[in-house]
Structure 1
Amino acid sequence: MQEDLKETFKASFDGSEPPHLSLPSDAIVAVVLCYNEAIRLPDFLRFHRAIGVDHFIIVDNASTDETSNYLDNENDVTRIFTAKPYKENKSHWRHVICDLFLDGHWTLFLDVDELFVYPGWPKLDLHALTRHWDRKGCDGVFTTMIDMYPKGALDQIQFKPGDSMLDASPYFDPDGYRLIPMHPRMRSEYNTPPYALFGGARERLFYEGRKRRPGILDKLILKYFFHLRTKSKPGSVLASFQRKLLRIVQSSLPKFPPMMSKVALIKWRKGLRFAGGAHRIQQKLTLADDWGALLHFKYLSDFSQKTEDAVQREQHASHSHHYKLYNDQKDEVMTRGAYYEGSRRFNGVGDLEACGLMRSSADTRKIRE
C-alpha cells in the first residue's frame, strides 16, 4: 500500500521521489499550496510556529518570485515542487501527501494568506487544544473565513516580507453573514460540514448582482433563521424549515457567492477526500463544538497584481469566476479600500466570539482558564 502511494506521489509531482519525512507521532503539520507568496511567507510561518505547528509541507506550484529560495532555507519546511495545473490537482495533491505522511496527525489546511486562530488563542497552545479534542472524540474543526483589511487605501500600504499581516490589515466585517444548512443532496456526497458560511466583506464589495433588492421579509428571515448562532442539525425539523425559507430569500441573494468556511483542521486518516478545496469533505467527521477561524489577508498592497495573475492563470474554480469579479473592481478597491462605517478592529478572538464568528464550548473554556 505504501509503495503504491509512493508511485502515486511520483506521478502527482512531476516524477519526483517522495521526501524523507520523520515526524513525531504528535506533530501538528500544515499542508499548504503556494504560488508566489514570498511577501507573506515570513509572517505566515512565524505565526503558525508560535501556535504550535511543528512542520510545514508546502506545495510550490512553480513560483517565479523568491518563494522557492526562501522555503529551501527553512528547517521545518518540506517544499514539494510541481508545475502541474493547480485547478485539476489541488485536492489530489493534498490527498496524496496526507495519505503518505500524515495518517493520524492533526493537520492544518491553509493558504499563505490565512492565519488560523481558535478559542484560547494566543495563550493556549494548539497541542493542548488538539489533545482536548482527542479526549472529546473530535476529528475535525469547522472554520470560518474572515476577510481582513486596512482602514485606508490598499495602494497606500507599505507591506514587505517580514511585516505582520494582522498589523497591516486589522479590520473585519462583524456582520452580514448567514449560516446555511447543506442541502440533503450535497450531504449525500459530502457529509462534512453540515452547514456553510456566506457573506462578509467579499460579498459586500463584489457581489451586488442579484435578481432583486432584499425586502423587509428577506431581512427578517435571514436575521432570525440563518444567523451565526443557529444550531439546526441535518434532518431536523428546523433544517427542513430553513430550506423552505431559503427558497423565499434566494432571489435577493448574490448568485454563486464564495463560501466563507472550511474544515481547516482535521485529524487525518487515510482515505479522507475533499471536494475540490478544503470547504467540504466526503466522509462524516465528528466536528468539535468549537469553531476556529481563518483570518484571510487578500487585501494587501499586491491585491491588484494577485488578482490579475489569477485571471490570467485561470487555475481557480469556475474558470476563476470570482477573481474576474475582483479584477473588474480592483482599481476602485485599491484606491477606496474595504473599510466602512461598520468595520470592527480585531483585538482578539473575543471579538469573533461576540459576533458569532467563533464558537467556544464550555469544556474548552475550562481548559483556557
Structure 2
Amino acid sequence: MPGAGIRTDTTTNEAGLIGASPQTLPRIGWADAYRLRWKRRRLLLRSWRSRHQLTSRNDQTHKIRRGDILAFTTLRNEITRIPWFLRHYRQLGVDHFLIVDNGSDDRSTELLLDQPDISLWQTHASYRASRYGLDWLNWLQMRHGHGHWCLMVDADELLIYAHHQTQTLQDLTAWLGQSGRRAFGALMLDLYPKGTLGAQSYDPAADPAEVLNWFDAAPYRAQRQSPLGNLWVQGGVRERMFFAKTRQRSPTLNKIPLVRWSRHYAYVNSCHSALPRRLNAAYDGPGGETPSGVLLHTKFLPEIIQKSRIEKQRRQHFHDPDQFGSYYDGIIDGPTLWTSQSVPFEGWEQLEQLGLMNAGGWRI
C-alpha cells in the first residue's frame, strides 16, 4: 500500500531534531533568520574563492542558450558509469553538462573531453576540504546557472520521475514553473544485486538497473530539521546492513537535485539542503504530497569492493572518516544485501504506488 513502512516523526528526538508536518517549514525567529542569511553569504563567498582551485580543460559554456537545462557534477574515476550517465540525462533533455574532475586517472578525463555538450574543469584539491565538491559546483552554478533549471547529481545517481520515458525535463520544469515551484525533490534509492557484492559483471554501455535490480521498499523515516527546515530521510538497505546499531549515522537519502537557480542560492550539505530555506519546502519526503522523483543510486556495481578499499584510504568522503571505517569494511567483505523482503525494481509507477515518489498532479 502507498506509504507502507514510512514514518514521519512529529516530536523532538534524542538528536534534537525538530519534527513537523512534512509540507511545513518550522517557524524560526529573527535571530535564526539573520544567521541563515549570513551563512548563505559565507557559503557564496567560499564558493567564489574556490574558483582558483579549478583549471578549465574544455570550457564550452558559450554554447549554453537561454532556457537550457544544465547538469552539474563532481566525479573521480567514473569511467564505468559515464557512458550510461550521459545517455540517461541526454535522453531526459539535459542540454549542457558542467563537470569537475577531481583527479581521475582512469581515462574519465579523456572521455569527457571528447564530448560536444560538456564543459570540463579539473582539480587535484581536497574533495573533503571543498565540502565534498560543493564549493566548486556552487561556484559554477553561480557563474553559469543563474536563471536556468539546474540539476545537481552524482555520477552514480539517475533521476527518474513520473512519465520520464516520454516527458523531458523541459516538460517537467515548464509544469513546475506554471505551478509556481522553483525546486523538485527526490529520494535517493539504493539499488543492489541479488548475490554477493562484486560477483556480478557489468557492461558500461548497459543500464545499471539491469544488474542492480532490487531495493528496500521500507522502512524509511522523515523529519524536519531546524533552523534550515530541510527534511532528513533515513532508512533503506545501507542502514539495514551497515548502520543497524548507529542509525543516526546512516546515509541521508533526501535531495533537492533540480532547482531553477539564482546566483543568490547556495547548497548547504550536498543537495540535501539549500538556502534560502524556502527551497527546502520543495520536498516532503516518501509518502508526501508534493511532486517528487527518485534518484536511482547505482553505488553497488561490481567495482564497489575495490572502490571502497581506495576510498577508505583516501579518507575524503566523511567529516570524521574514522567513524566510518566499519562501513567500508562491511562493503569490502562482499556481503549479500538481498533478502526475501527485497523488491525487484520495475519502474516509476511501482515506486509511486509504494509511496517512494509522487507525481503530484504531474499527469499527461
Question: 1:9: how far off?
Answer: 6.4
2:168 to 102, 112, 125: 125
Matched to 2:75, the amino acid is C
- The superposition leaves residues 243-264 of structure 1 with CA deviations (integer Å, 9 ceiling, x where unpaired) of xxxxxxxxxxx23221111111
Q: Which aligned pairs between 1:132-281 and structure 2 lie closer than 5 A? A: 132-182=175-225, 184=226, 187=227, 190-191=228-229, 193=230, 195-210=231-246, 254-281=247-274
Contact kept in structure 2, 1:9 and 1:18, CA below 8 Å: no
CA deviation map 1:112-143 (0-9, x unaligned): 11100012221221110100001111111121
Contact 1:5 1:99 in 2 (8 A): no
Q: 2: distance between equivalents of 1:309 and 1:30?
A: 27
1:361 corresponds in structure 2 to 360
SS in 2 for 1:87: coil
Distance 1:130 1:208, change over 3 A: same
Contact residue 14 and residue 83 of structure 1 kept, 8 A: no
Contact 2:59–2:119 (CA<8 Å) still a contact in 1? no
Shift of 1:322: 6.9
Give the alignment partner of residue 120 of structure 2, picking from 61, 79, 83. 79
Q: Residue 277 of structure 1: CA displacement?
A: 1.1
Q: 1:8 to 1:20 in 2, by over 3 A?
A: farther
Change (3 A) 1:16 1:164: closer
Counterparts of 1:85 and 1:69, CA distance in 2? 21
More helix by share: 1
2:89 pairs, out of 48, 51, 59, with 48
1:208 shift after superposition:
1.9
CA contact (8 A) 1:148 1:296 kept: yes
Map Cα deviations across residues 194-247 of structure 1 (whole Å, 9 max, x no partner).
x2211001101101225xxxxxxxxxxxxxxxxxxxxxxxxxxxxxxxxxxxxx
Counterparts of residues 16-31 of structure 1 (less than 5 Å):
20-31=61-72
Deviates more, 1:78-87 or 1:14-23: 14-23
- CA drift of 1:12 comes to 3.3
- Normalising by structure 2, we get a TM-score of 0.80
Unaligned runs of 5+ in 1: 211-253
- Provide the C-alpha distance between the structure 1 equivalents of 2:212 and 2:58, rounded to a whole number of angstroms: 40
Q: 1:25 is paired with a residue of what secondary structure? A: coil
Q: Describe the shift of the 1:321–1:201 C-alpha distance in structure 2 as closer, same or farther (beyond 3 A).
A: farther
> Match of 2:337, SS?
coil
- 2:76 match: 35
TM-score, length-scaled by structure 1: 0.79
Taking the aligned partners of 1:10 and 1:17, their CA distance within structure 2 comes to: 15
Task: Kindly indicate whether the alpha-carbon contact (under 8 Å) linking 2:268 and 2:274 is maintained by their aligned counterparts in 1.
Answer: yes
**2:103 aligned with 1:68:** no
Whether the 8 Å contact between 1:258 and 1:322 is mirrored in structure 2 is no
Three-state SS of the structure 1 residue aligned to 2:98 is strand
Deviation (angstroms), 1:161: 2.3
Taking every aligned residue pair, what percent have the same amino acid on both sides? 28
| Aligned position for 1:287 | 282
* Corresponding residue SS for 2:256: strand
Q: Distance in 1 between matches of 2:64 and 2:99?
A: 15
Alpha-carbon deviations, 1:249-286, whole Å to 9, x = none?
A: xxxxx232211111111111012111131111121226
In the alignment, what sits opposite 1:314? 315
Q: How many residues align?
A: 310
Q: 1:7 to 1:48 in 2, by over 3 A?
A: closer
Query: Structure 1 18/319 Cα, relative in aligned 2: closer, same or farther at 3 Å?
Result: farther
* Letter matched to residue 295 of structure 1: L
1:77/1:5 CA distance change after superposition, 3 Å: farther
Aligned partners of 1:358, 1:153: CA distance in 2, in Å?
29
Deviation at 1:326, TM superposition (A): 2.5
SS of the residue corresponding to residue 193 of structure 2 reads: coil
Q: Deviations over 1:294-321 (max 9, x none)?
A: 0001111111111122211111122335
Change (3 A) 1:9 1:22: farther
